[in-house]
Amino acid sequence: MEEEFKAEEAVSEAEKRFELYRRTVSLFLGPAVFLILFLTPMPPLTAQSHSLAAVLGLVLIYWIGEPVPIPVTAVLGPVLCVMLGVAKSSVVFAPFAHPIIFLFIGSFMLAEAMKAHRLDYRISLGILSLPWVGGSYLGVFIAIAAIPAAMSMWISDSATTAMIYPITVGIAGAVSRLSSGATSRFSTGLLLTIAYAALIGGIGTPVGTPPNLIGIGMIDKLAGVRIDFFQWMLMAVPIMIAMFIAMLVYMFAAHRPPGKEVSGLSAFINEKRSELGGWTRGQKNTLAAFSIAAILWVTPGVALSLFGETSGIHGFLDAYLREEIVSLIAAMILFFTPVDWKERRFTLSWAEAVRIDWGTILLFGGGLSLGGLMFSTGLADAIGTALIQATGVNTLWGITAMATGLAIVATEVTSNTATANMLVPLMISIAKTAGTSPVPPAIGVCLGASMAFMLPVSTPSNAIVYGSGRVPITSMIRAGAALDVVSFFVIMAGLRIMCPLLGLA
């Protein structure tokens, strides 16, 4: 019943040559830009801000071209800042120990435990076996989209896509066999949908994708506004749902199935589910730790809504159960709950824990460091003033539209984390210079940075489904371009409504 699709390398020779050319050119262009900026007189800037501008030129070229790994560039920037006298080492590297770094670490460990014990896979098959899914093409389409959207609110979009990908491939193969093979367009839509749903779902919570935490950290550090876990969800989940529905409608209309029902699909899903067997101790422990984290993450925000900011309950929770503490508590639970007491094996081992994405953690620390230096040296103010004069955009929602649009475009050619690191401090500076709230533009960058729909190189999620050989590049570009445009208007409408309601504008 199941037709196997191999996730082969589907990158053409032309694309390989372009990648090689891009990395080679940027390897030498970065130092050239650094030297040009460093040697060019810039009278309005101080010596420190002038040196920082040169470092940023190098860092931005390297983040876009990726001649070396992006996290390496994130460390290179601060190192050069110390060597050029922009600031002392203790100042430059302090952001690498920012509390949000530990929120990253704890949430990454939770995600690693979910993967190690296949809890995510079990939950996915459970959703697909629900009665309303059955053998309906529409039911399968909705379920296969809802799973990565819900999962990526808590774990990375790439991990989510990698997890749901083999299930989707199996379903596509089963549908093809059961429908006499007349489903190639539907299969393409199904594979694209899981990648797009994972990207969209990531905006729903602070831990869903790195740009969210980058934005929250920079808004706190550079704008003095703290957005807690619950407040972010109140703002982002409606936008996520609206974008999810828009994506689902477009993808189903553009990749319509050959009929309404396909018999035998439920049996295939149940067969896959039965292969998992019963719930393991590791799955139960991981689900308990995750549930505790999710409840405690939103509790302070709920207390704020119910009792007010001056209440003792909210004050206690805000002081002692901050997001990073909750994240680490949940991670510690994994190390103390046994799966086999006789052998002293616990839910998460250190060997498994160290598999988390340390590169993203370094990238966040480097971005926060450079962003802070832009403000402390006065470089951000100078850039903000110059951009306002050049563009003439000086209203809150004009700046927010510019921020969102730039992020959507930039994230198609560089990582969403690098996009957020580059644009969030810049937009905060522009908003401050214009005398408007910096929060909506910064959030616009965070949300726009996750809308990478057009190219396989835009995000690992796209690359995973493109590698199946069942997704033509033209189909991805066509669907991605349409969704890029849709996402701009959905994000702008969502921010325009939600930010004033929540006091963020």
Q: What is the 3-state secondary structure (H, E, C) of 106-129?
A: HHHHHHHHHHHCCHHHHHHHHHHC
**Same domain flag for 28 and 139:** no
Total Cβ atoms within 10 A of residue 238: 15
pLDDT at 182 over 70: no
As a whole number, mean pLDDT of residues 111-124 equals 84
pLDDT in tens, 73-84: 989 999 999 999
pLDDT value of position 5: 34
- Cα–Cα distance, 378 to 395 (Å, whole number): 22
**Same domain flag for 175 and 74:** no
**Same domain flag for 74 and 186:** no
Confidence band, pLDDT 50/70/90 cuts, at residue 24: very high
**Same domain flag for 81 and 107:** no
- Cα–Cα distance, 342 to 234 (Å, whole number): 45
Indicate whether 462 belongs to any domain: no
pLDDT at 176 over 70: no
**Same domain flag for 228 and 318:** yes
The DSSP string of 343-389 is TTEESS-HHHHTTS-HHHHHHHHHHHHHHHHHHHTTHHHHHHHHHHH
pLDDT at 376 over 90: no
As a whole number, mean pLDDT of residues 298-324 equals 82
Indicate whether 329 belongs to any domain: yes
CB 71 within 8 A of CB 359: yes
pLDDT at 408 over 50: yes
CB 293 within 8 A of CB 152: no
What is the Cα Rg of the chain in Å? Answer: 23
**Same domain flag for 22 and 38:** yes
pTM of the model: 0.79
**Same domain flag for 42 and 60:** yes
Total Cβ atoms within 10 A of residue 387: 20
pLDDT value of position 482: 94
**Same domain flag for 160 and 40:** no
Indicate whether 366 belongs to any domain: no
| pLDDT, the chain, mean | 85
Give residue 135's domain range. Answer: 100-353
Amino acid at 68: V
Q: Which residue has the higher pLDDT, 19 or 346?
A: 346
**Same domain flag for 132 and 210:** yes
User: Structural domain tally of the chain?
Assistant: 2
Indicate whether 187 belongs to any domain: yes
Question: What phi-psi label fits residue 264: left (phi over 0), alpha (psi between -120 and 50 degrees) or beta?
Answer: left
Highest-pLDDT range among 6-10, 261-265, 302-306, 444-448: 444-448
Indicate whether 250 belongs to any domain: yes
Indicate whether 427 belongs to any domain: no
β-pair partners for 345: 340
Q: Which residue has the higher pLDDT, 336 or 469?
A: 336
pLDDT value of position 479: 92
Report the residue count for the chain. 505
pLDDT value of position 263: 63
**Same domain flag for 275 and 225:** yes
Contacts of 491 (CB under 8 A, 6+ apart): 239, 243, 404, 444, 447, 448, 451
Share of the chain above pLDDT 90, in %: 41
Share of the chain above pLDDT 70, in %: 92
pLDDT value of position 431: 92
pLDDT in tens, 422-452: 889 989 989 998 899 999 999 999 999 999 8
CB 317 within 8 A of CB 303: yes
pLDDT at 4 over 60: no
- Cα–Cα distance, 285 to 281 (Å, whole number): 6
- What tokens does 317 get? 């929770």
Lookup result for tokens 């779902």 = 201
Indicate whether 493 belongs to any domain: no
CB 463 within 8 A of CB 456: yes
**Same domain flag for 52 and 15:** yes
Indicate whether 33 belongs to any domain: yes
- Of 92, 119, 146, the residue at which a domain comes to its end is 92
- Maximum alpha-carbon separation in the chain: 73
- Cα–Cα distance, 236 to 233 (Å, whole number): 5
pLDDT at 334 over 90: yes
**Same domain flag for 178 and 273:** yes
- Of 353, 373, 388, the residue at which a domain comes to its end is 353
- Of 39, 64, 92, the residue at which a domain comes to its end is 92
Alpha helices in 40-98 (DSSP H): 47-65, 70-83, 89-92
Lookup result for tokens 């501008």 = 53
